Structure 1
Amino acid sequence: MSFLVWNCRGLAQPRAVRFLKEIIQQLRPNLVFLSETLVKKEKIEKICKDIGFADYCAVDAQGHGGGLALFWKTEGGVTVRDVCHNYIDFEVVNEQIGRWRYTGYYGFPERGRRRESWNMLEDLAGKSSLPWCIIGDFNYIVSRDEKQGGRVQPRWLMEGFSDASDRCELSDLGFIGDKFTWEKSRGSSSWVQERLDRGMATQAWKDLFPQAEVRVVDVTTSDHLSLYLYLNRRIFMPKVRRFRFENMWIKENECFNIVKDCWNGREGADIMSKLLLCCAKLEEWGGGMVQEIRAKLNMCRVKMRKLRSRRDGQGLNEYNDVRWEYLGLLEKQEVFWKQRAKQFRLKEGDANSRFFHKFASVRKKK
């Protein structure tokens, strides 16, 4: 079982939803918790269907801020226990392992409400004696090493959060990946980076899942990086691709040139011969484009990971160029999956989802 957690900073933009689908397809989490969705429940319900999850729990945004969403699949026995504007608390039941507890958390961003957050954390700790893991955007740092740039964090704020965690018997799960999970004003003189997102758990939960790890997903469309908590490592087998004409080729100028050359290059040939030649040339040119897009997506992630910490002008420009390339590749990948869902089953504006993936897979097996 695995858990994806992300402060998405708004799901109204197609770019954020597209990234969410891409990261779900890549990591295949069983649970997804989103904070700062900035939308109403109706939007969350549609997203739940689009990403292929069985059920959801949502908290509406307040004005121009807030909003929480939890998605889960049928397996796992998820039961939501408590909900408010700062967290969704739920239990998970597994026949082999038993019962344990998760909390998707979003701490108050206002400094004047820090004590409210600490009290809320202690209230959550007293609600159940089950093995407990809490993960999300806490909006705190526990040491000055977790911040770069900006004003120095007051010591009483860091110590206050540490003391509250100790009283709740919570300890940090650590992480693999980028040191900072949030940033502001990238490239300017006021560029700030902090580790605001983290996972914490009781010793009973750690004993239940001794191999659990938190990985920082290094690419995002938000100012927050996402966290991926996985209890056991998973291995995915590559799928075999079958060639067909790809609608995403139309976005490439080279496709038009190939068709034009094949059609005009053989005078006197019949239509069928020209079509066969055109098919062969397109297959030779674009047969590996799907794998190429996947490779480029991975390459973009690697480049963005390396460029995130650079603060010079050239590094900032390179980061922005790679980020826009990444978003363009996501759009092409969505066109690829739309085609496999068959056009008559696809309304204008519908997006890449688990339903369309499954439908395409069934057709492929036939």
Structure 2
Amino acid sequence: MAEQLLHMSVSCLISGRKFLLTCIYGLHSIQHRKPVWEQLRHIGQQQITLPWVVLGDFNSVLTPDEKHGGLLVTNREIRDLADCVSFLELFDTQHVGCFYTWSNNTGHSKIDRVMVNSTWLQDDLDIYTEFLPPGCISDHSLSITTVFRESRRRNPPFKFYNMWAAHDEFESIVQEHWVFYGKGTTQFVLKKAF
């Protein structure tokens, strides 16, 4: 445990599988974040042979296209995280939901992530993350990560049966549920409407 990270070993009670988990909270300035990247490198150099998940608020983007609005991203801002991720061979998990995970209503950034090491990928373990819209509880997206659920169907098809349209109340039901009056980000309102 350190100021900006918590590192642990996790054992699944159902499958018996073990993996390492590191939770990150990167501080707000580049200089104050430097120790967390050094500590991650140190953990990674301990011959990690188990699958490893690194997640949390990194407070830094990996690439300039992960920020929209506000000041432009400089190479100095992304260098430390990018070097650390490259050194440790970490990769973003498959994810759905919001791309930008933080918003102050004028700027949006992807500063929250869930990443795995190459061992996780080589073992072909199942993991995916859903990033919910920011603004409900915090200006960050809530992330829900699911692991070891191998039976998950990917992209199930939408099916519409014509018999539904023949129902007497079909149009009124669709009209009633189509309109959604809600508050929040545009993404949140769109998601709740459907």
TM-score with structure 1 length normalisation? Answer: 0.39
**Deviation at 1:106?**
0.7
1:306 is the counterpart of 2:186 = yes
**Map of 2:41 onto structure 1:** 122
Alignment of 1:52-131 (within 5 A): 83-94=1-12, 96-127=15-46, 129=48, 130-131=50-51
One-letter amino acid of the structure 1 residue matched with residue 77 of structure 2: L
Structure 1 residue 180, shift from structure 2 partner: 0.8
Q: CA deviation at 1:200?
A: 1.0
Alignment-derived partner of residue 216 in structure 1: 131
Matched, 1:192 2:103: no
For the residue of structure 2 that corresponds to 1:124, the secondary structure is helix
- Percent identical across equivalent pairs? 21
Structure number with greater Rg is 1
Q: In structure 2, do the counterparts of structure 1 residues 114 and 154 end up closer, same or farther at CA, with 3 Å as the change threshold?
A: farther
Q: From 52, 59, 66, give the equivalent of 1:146.
A: 66
Structure 2 counterpart of 1:160, one-letter code: D
Aligned with 2:89 (options 152, 164, 169): 169
Say how many residue pairs are matched: 161
C-alpha change, 1:145 and 1:196, in structure 2 (3 Å) is same
Cα distance in 2 for partners of 1:174, 1:91 equals: 22
How far did 1:233 drift? 7.0
| Structure 2 Cα separation of the partners of residues 308 and 198 of structure 1 | 19
Where do residues 258-337 of structure 1 align in structure 2 (5 Å cutoff)?
Answer: 304=184, 306-307=186-187
Q: Which moved more, 1:153-162 or 1:93-102?
A: 93-102
Q: Measure, in 2, the Cα distance between the counterparts of 1:212 and 1:141.
A: 22
For the 8 Å contact 2:5–2:36, the answer to whether it is kept is no
Q: Which has the higher strand share?
A: 2
Alignment partners' CA distance in 1, 2:185 and 2:86: 33
- Provide, for residues 169-206 of structure 1, a one-character-per-residue CA deviation record: whole Å limited to 9, x for no partner: 2122242111111112x2xxxx1111110011111123
Alpha-carbon separation, structure 2, partners of 1:128 and 1:102: 15
**Aligned with 1:120: secondary structure?**
helix
* 1:121, distance to aligned residue in structure 2 (A): 1.8
Q: For each residue in 1:108-140, what CA deviation from the matched residue of structure 2 results, as whole angstroms up to 9, or x when unmatched?
A: 211222432321221222346221111000111
Superposition CA RMSD, Å: 3.0
> For residues 114 and 87 of structure 1, do their structure 2 counterparts lie closer, same or farther at Cα, with a shift above 3 Å needed?
closer
Distance 2:112 2:36 in 1: 15
Offset at residue 97 of structure 1 (A): 4.5
Letter of the structure 2 residue corresponding to residue 105 of structure 1: I
Task: Please list the CA deviations of residues 221-276 of structure 1 after superposition, one character each: whole Å capped at 9, or x if unmatched.
Answer: 211111111122789xxxxxxxxxxxxxxxxxxxxxxxxxxxxxxxxxxxxxxxxx
Tell me, which stretches of 5 or more residues in structure 2 are unaligned?
153-176
- In 1, Cα distance between equivalents of 2:29 and 2:151: 38
Residues 167, 215 of structure 1: alpha-carbon distance in 2 compared, 3 angstrom cutoff: same
The runs of at least 4 aligned residues of structure 1 exceeding 3 Å deviation read 94-97, 207-210, 303-309
Residue 226 in structure 1 maps to residue 142 in structure 2: yes
Give me the whole-angstrom Cα distance separating, in 2, the residues matched to 1:158 and 1:300. Answer: 39
Q: CA deviation at 1:148?
A: 0.9
Using the size of structure 2 for normalisation, the TM-score is: 0.70
Closer, same or farther in 2 for the Cα pair 1:155/1:204, shift >3 Å?
A: same
Unaligned runs of 5+ in 1: 1-82, 236-295, 310-321, 323-366
